[in-house]
């Protein structure tokens, strides 16, 4: 659509926290320019354009269909994602949509055939696939360094629970938080066939009151017999705990937590002490957002969409729903992601 | 029974690999002396006494009941454990028995009442409770350093599968290998109420042919809502992978793998590289066997039995059986360890 | 001179490797714009402006004095630095000059009074002060975390020797390589009073033929009795070895080497292995160049020059010369940096 | 002299702190037995024999010459070492003597010819050569893993200064503390040719009042151009700081500090924190004392003396004296250890 020399003109829908991250990322990119920012809360859109360029509008549809817009980044509330993706497909505009596609698999399935038939890329914002450390681990697994993957271990703990207002509408831990880990799992083991989940209520009465879990342990099994173990918690004293470990017959590859500084100390209390983990996803995945955008831009320019797409977004939701059933009913749930 | 100044006179039943470990441990202890070694394979017993002292016999009962024997260490095949413990109880001799008590819960339960009523200590050889690193982690959890325990993660991978002859009679991965992890779990969370297990067949046709798993992921839940996740494999490229991690609201405590040497290297291939893990349990738990014996000797001399006892051996087997059911039937199995 | 909202217009003198780094850094900065690039090799200048903007010229003086230039970055050969700084002072233009000021202390001293009297900032490009990890260590030492600094240890090894053509004109290891470490030393211990240096010829006949050392160990002593130990080598198998360690009565703070990826592996050969060190200064100090520019821009806008200035550049050269005398004559050389 | 099956009968001279270590080590060894302990303070000797066997005497000479004594361990005050070694040579008894041989090189040289001509082994108690981690590093350097050694770095910091009464008679930091590091240096680089030392007075008025240093940095150069850098301090917040690092063209091998436990924690204050270093030499070198004894026993039984001997003890003292001259006079001192 555009040559490398011509920056891709981006319409950003949503100017909240994650929208601002995307705006800054577009601004820093040599291959993209922020053309328009849409938000019904116009002051938010205006604040973003004052920092990163472009024009502000309250009308997402106008932004998506504008002639001077080449591609769309959707960072609005989850409930709007399906309609906005549909509008992008209508307008023939490539779209990078934040996860999840929707909390309701029926709505996702309603869009599925059109997404599959689309002539433009539909990219899903699963940021972890773009983290340089996780991506390097993935590359080395794919290269055969550990032989065929046997066991994958994902630890993901948030630093602190979201506010109650968010918990209420989050769709529950599996669809809101574990969904990232389901996608990470499928990055390594696309063909998950069984989901066994245990939901935990360990510390938060508020979360329990909303019939949600504040922690979880999920075991997936792949068609090839691989296991994936996911450990989640809604809190973690040392920060955002994000670890990945892949084991095969030839060895194990792992990525531990990231700290802002490499300074270590030795004192009477500890012979070797490092910094806390980076606080949360904005810090931990800062570099991932750039890589995610660049990957999308490659697809916009006609290259292959190598990152997660609509089907990946759907599959993660299917696994999340299966985990919910498994945890509630105390049984392994078998899934067929190709169905 | 004996004063600290008088070494406890030990009868050792079994002179195989683990029996030799116990013989050497007794020899090194200032508080014990090897009095007699019993093995139907008399050459084995004779070899042990030639190195570590005492007399050899083919008759375990004679050894247990001998007047010059104060306490018994049972390191014979699993199938003999129940009868030998019973003989020790008959003789009023304290006994330290290797795990497991038996592969058949019915046989264990047949001895349960007598063990509970015994006037002498019955100690079970779950070596991990005596590893100084794991024990220090446990001590710090008990001391409240991380607040109430929420999530415990156990990784346990053998360096390589046992020979087929052993696999056949092992009782299966849960009763043979995971049983250690079940005991470790109960060390932190005694009152396990639910077991969810996934059995894996990832690499060994031999193991699969014996209807056994070569890997497993087990999730336990405690009465207090704590989770314990156990990851097992029958092989591991870097050695005997033995890790433990405990998380609570105030932080995480962990113990990684142990290496023989602390030498690290930096080269063109790696900026920081350490030794492989210690190879297997004889190396990894060498120090644990000494602590296990000293703990037993304290109980023999009338002190409290602080290590695992008969009920712990039984509980681990109950969890192993529950895991087998869970894996086969694809459902969470609830257990009542007090029943 | 300029408001935060108005980017500082930069003239860059020199379009070689380090000049290109500065050009890219200016391009990425929100507070600066590349206005002109001067290089007698015009194709080099043109290549830089084609990527990062501005106009190209062969005439450094024209660039420095141009009305549309607010500040100057000097990245030309060392021998031109003194004249270019002088030209900037004549033109009343703030200047950020790559290290060293010159290889000849007499030429540096010839400019010293004018630099001291200058109304514009003269910043020296000692990149390590701007490395976020080293800067954090420095901040924590200044904050008193380890009490008064007693011993500072600097390890600095290049991945491989420079080509012979460079070695010939480098001024020798102390003025070319250790000069960075002398500045790092003075960042922590400004008032060095004694220099004891040992020059080494360990592996390079080429370097020895030019009467230069391929390694060195230098011990500095500060007026407060602090020691600084610098270990240098012109080669290192694992990459660019850059470490810093500060010890005081309350503890030690250290920064180890940086790797591109956090992926670690365990295999039969190593239980824990990480990536090689980042290759060389362009990678290792990539973030430092940005911080260095931002610090300079703050001073250009009228803020304090918090980074190294002319006197720091001179002091490092004085220490380098003293190290040369010490190594040749086998004696401690006392210095007075305030003289 | 004795077959492997017959334990070597040891006379121990000295029952202080280090004497007790040797007594316990002999007791634990399968190849040695404690026969007699000599100390003019008879209660000390009696206390040791009550724990580890043997008889007590006040007469060192009687112990050394006793018919039932095969070999001697000297752990008495430094001033007695020369005479006791001489007595052992007179009696034809192998001797393992604690470092240093003496504080006065003239007294050492007075014994030198006799020691060189002795038909029995004279072993020196430089414990670090027997530390399993340092020994493994040494073995790998000798095996060529890093190519020819170029730079060796030794860090040695005591946890806290010795009491003033000891400082007074210690012979100064170089002969008391650095002497260990000089021996470690010579283990890797036997033929040291130049010593450059900087003495420091950083924190202790008491030490300064005794014209001694509380810290030091020493650079040695070997005949092959290798450098050895030693950093000493008489205090260290995190414990006994004992590190070793060897660099050659193919890489670096290092040993860091040892901790009692491998438990690590992550909290809000630190994402990764380990235990303090082991406190002091009794803990840090506990395993080394056993290896040192076993090495001596091998030589007693007619094997080669692979550990440090009389000449090594002398060479370390020569380097210590040279360091004293270098520090006082501010110049490099050349040495000829073969003279």
Q: What is the pLDDT of residues C249-298, one digit of tens each?
A: 999 999 999 999 999 999 999 999 999 999 999 999 999 999 999 999 99
Distance CA C42, CA D178 (A): 59
B159: Cβ contacts below 8 Å, ≥ 6 apart: B235, B236, B239, B240, B279, B280
A13-25 per-position pLDDT tens digit: 999 999 999 999 9
Residue from A265, A273, A275 whose CB has the most chain D CBs within 10 Å, to mutate: A273
Contact C261 A28 (CB under 8 A): no
**D136 in contact with B, Cβ within 8 Å:** yes
Residues of C in contact with A287 (CB under 8 A): none
Where residue A5 falls among pLDDT bands split at 50, 70, 90?
Answer: low
Specify the CATH class of D8-120 in words. alpha beta
Contact C330 D331 (CB under 8 A): yes
Binning pLDDT at 50, 70 and 90, where does residue C3 land? very low
Query: Which chain B residues touch A155 with a CB distance below 8 Å?
Result: 153
Q: Which residues in chain C have their CB less than 8 angstroms from residue A261's CB?
A: 132-133, 136
Q: Contact partners of B by the rule of 3+ C-beta pairs under 8 A?
A: A, C, D
Give the one of B271, B274, B276 whose C-beta lies nearest to C238's C-beta: B271
- Residue of chain A with shortest Cα separation from C265: A253
Q: Which residues of C20-32 are buried (b: 16+ CB within 10 A; e: fewer)?
A: bbbbbbbbebebb
Chain D interface includes B268 (CB < 8 A): yes
Contact pairs from chain A to chain B, CB under 8 Å: 108
Check if the beta carbon of residue C159 is closer than 8 Å to that of residue C240.
Answer: yes
Chain A: residue nearest B277 by CA?
A251
> Cβ of A237 and B215 within 8 Å?
no
Is the per-residue pLDDT at C240 higher than 90?
A: yes
Instruction: Determine contact: C86 vs chain D, CB below 8 A.
Output: no
**Cα–Cα distance for residue pair D79/D101, rounded to 1 Å:** 8
Give the residue on B whose Cα is nearest the Cα of D256: B262
Residue D202 C-alpha, separation from nearest chain C C-alpha, in angstroms: 6
Identify all chain B residues contacting A331, using CB atoms and an 8 Å cutoff: 330-332
Q: How far apart are the first and last CA of chain D?
A: 33
C217 to chain D, any CB pair closer than 8 A? The answer is yes
Cα D81 to Cα D313: distance, rounded to the nearest angstrom: 12
Q: Is A132 an interface residue toward D (CB < 8 Å)?
A: no
**Is residue A66's pLDDT more than 50?**
yes
Q: Does C254 touch chain B (CB under 8 A)?
A: no
Q: What's the confidence (pLDDT) of residue C60?
A: 98
A296 touches chain D (CB under 8 A): no
- For chain D, the chains sharing at least 3 beta-carbon pairs closer than 8 angstroms are A, B, C
From chain A, pick out residues whose CB is under 8 angstroms from the CB of D242: none
Cross-chain residue pair C266–A250, CB shorter than 8 Å:
no
| Residue-by-residue DSSP string for C129-182 | GG-HHHHHHHHHHHTTTTSS--EEEEEEE-SSPPPHHHHHHS--HHHHTHHHHH
Contact D226 C331 (CB under 8 A): no
For residue D313, the model assigns a pLDDT of: 97
Asked if pLDDT for residue C5 goes beyond 70, the answer is no
B258 to D253: CB separation less than 8 angstroms, yes or no: no
Of A104, A18, A22, A132, the C-alpha closest to A71 is A22
Cβ-based contacts of B239 with chain C (< 8 Å): 268, 271
* DSSP one-letter string for A41-87: SHHHHHHHHHHH-SEEES-HHHHHH-TT--EEEE-S-GGGHHHHHHH
How many alpha carbons lie under 13 Å from residue D329 in its C-beta half-sphere? 13
Tell which of B5, B50, B265, B290 to mutate to test the D interface (max D CBs under 10 Å): B265
| D254–A contact, CB cutoff 8 A | no
Cα separation, C188 vs C152, whole angstroms: 8
Does B136 contact chain D (CB < 8 Å)?
yes
- If you average pLDDT over residues A204-211, what whole number do you get? 97
Question: Could you say which residues of chain D have pLDDT below 50?
Answer: 1-4
CA of A301, closest CA in chain C: separation in Å?
21
Cβ contact D262–B28 (<8 Å): no
Nearest Cα residue to D220 out of D157, D158, D152: D152
Query: For chain A, how many residues are written?
Result: 339
Cβ-defined contact of C263 to A145 (cutoff 8 Å): no
For C198, list phi and psi in degrees, rounded to 5. Answer: -120, 120
* Spans of all domains in chain C: 8-120, 129-287+316-334
Size of interface B-C (CB pairs under 8 A): 65
Please give the mean pLDDT across all residues of chain A: 96
Chain B interface includes D28 (CB < 8 A):
yes
pLDDT of residue A2 exceeding 70, the answer is no
- The string of DSSP codes covering A206-251 is HHHHTT--SEEEEEEEETTS-EEEEEEES--TTS-EEEEEEEETTE
Q: Are D219 and D176 in contact (CB under 8 A)?
A: no
CB B255 within 8 A of CB B134: yes
Question: The sheet that has B8-13: what strands, in order across it?
Answer: B55-57, B32-38, B8-13, B71-74, B95-98, B122-125
User: How close does chain A come to C251, measured CA to CA in Å?
Assistant: 4
Best mutation target, D147, D185, D194, D225, to test chain C (most C CBs within 10 A): D225
- Per CB-CB distance under 8 Å, the chain A contacts of B146 are 237
- Report the pLDDT value the prediction gives residue B1, as an integer from 0 to 100: 40
- Give CA–CA dist D82/C51, Å, rounded: 76
Of residues B151, B155, B202, nearest to A225 (C-beta): B202
- Residue A3's pLDDT is what? 44
pLDDT in tens, chain B (339 residues): 434 468 999 999 999 999 999 999 998 888 999 999 999 999 999 999 999 999 999 999 999 999 999 999 999 999 999 999 999 999 999 999 999 999 999 999 999 999 999 999 999 999 999 999 999 999 999 999 999 999 999 999 999 999 999 999 999 999 999 999 999 999 999 999 999 999 999 999 999 999 999 999 999 999 999 999 999 999 999 999 999 999 999 999 999 999 999 999 999 999 999 999 999 999 999 999 999 999 999 999 999 999 999 999 999 999 999 999 999 999 999 999 988
Q: Could you give the ipTM of this predicted complex?
A: 0.94
Q: Which CATH class is domain C129-287+316-334?
A: alpha beta
Q: Is D132 on the interface with B (CB under 8 A)?
A: yes
Subunits next to A (3 or more Cβ pairs <8 Å) are B, C, D
Eight-class DSSP state of B14:
-
Q: Tens of pLDDT along C206-230?
A: 999 999 999 999 999 999 999 999 9
Q: A302 and chain D: CB distance < 8 Å anywhere?
A: no
Asked whether residue A213 carries a pLDDT value surpassing 60, the answer given is yes
Among A237, A271, A275, the residue with its CB nearest the CB of D238 is A271
Q: What is the mean pLDDT of chain C?
A: 96
In chain D, residues with a C-beta closer than 8 Å to the C-beta of A242 are none
- Residue D120 to residues A14, B15, D1, D93, D304: CA-CA distances in angstroms? 87, 41, 11, 6, 11
Interchain CB contact of A263 with D (< 8 Å)? no
Distance of alpha carbon C295 from alpha carbon D289, whole angstroms? 55
Q: Which of D144, D193, D202, D276 to mutate: most C Cβ within 10 Å?
A: D202
Q: Is D203 on the interface with C (CB under 8 A)?
A: yes
Measured distance CA(A135)–CA(A50) in Å, rounded: 34
């Amino acid at each position: 659509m555009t040559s490398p020399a011509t920056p891709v003109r981006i319409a950003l829908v949503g100017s909240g926290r994650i929208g601002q991250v995307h705006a800054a990322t577009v601004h820093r990119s040599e291959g993209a320019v922020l053309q328009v920012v849409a938000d019904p809360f116009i002051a938010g859109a205006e604040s973003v354009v004052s920092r990163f360029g472009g024009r502000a509008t309250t009308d997402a549809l106008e932004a998506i269909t504008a002639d001077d817009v080449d591609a769309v980044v959707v960072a609005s509330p989850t409930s709007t994602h399906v309609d906005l993706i549909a509008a992008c497909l209508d307008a023939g505009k490539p779209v990078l949509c934040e996860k999840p596609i929707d909390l309701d698999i029926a709505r996702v399935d309603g869009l599925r055939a059109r997404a599959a038939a689309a002539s433009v890329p539909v990219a899903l914002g699963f940021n972890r696939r773009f983290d340089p450390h996780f991506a390097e681990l993935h590359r080395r697994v794919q290269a055969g360094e550990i032989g065929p993957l046997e066991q994958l271990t994902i630890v993901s703990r948030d630093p602190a629970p979201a506010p109650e207002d968010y918990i209420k509408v989050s769709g529950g831990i599996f669809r809101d938080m574990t969904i990232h880990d389901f996608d990470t799992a499928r990055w390594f083991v696309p063909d998950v066939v069984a989901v066994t989940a245990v939901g935990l209520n360990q510390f938060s009465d508020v979360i329990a009151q909303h019939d949600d879990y504040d922690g979880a342990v999920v075991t997936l099994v792949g068609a090839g017999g691989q296991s994936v173990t996911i450990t989640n918690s809604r809190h973690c004293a040392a920060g955002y705990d994000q670890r990945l470990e892949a084991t095969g017959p030839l060895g194990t590859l792992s990525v531990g937590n990231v700290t802002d500084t490499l300074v270590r100390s030795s004192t009477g209390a500890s012979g070797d002490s490092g910094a806390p983990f980076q606080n949360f996803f904005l810090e931990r995945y800062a570099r991932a957002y750039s890589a995610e955008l660049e990957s999308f831009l490659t697809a916009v320019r006609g290259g292959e969409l190598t990152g997660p797409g609509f089907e990946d977004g759907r599959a993660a939701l299917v696994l999340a729903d299966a985990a919910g059933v498994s945890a509630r009913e105390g049984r392994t749930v078998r899934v067929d992601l190709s169905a």
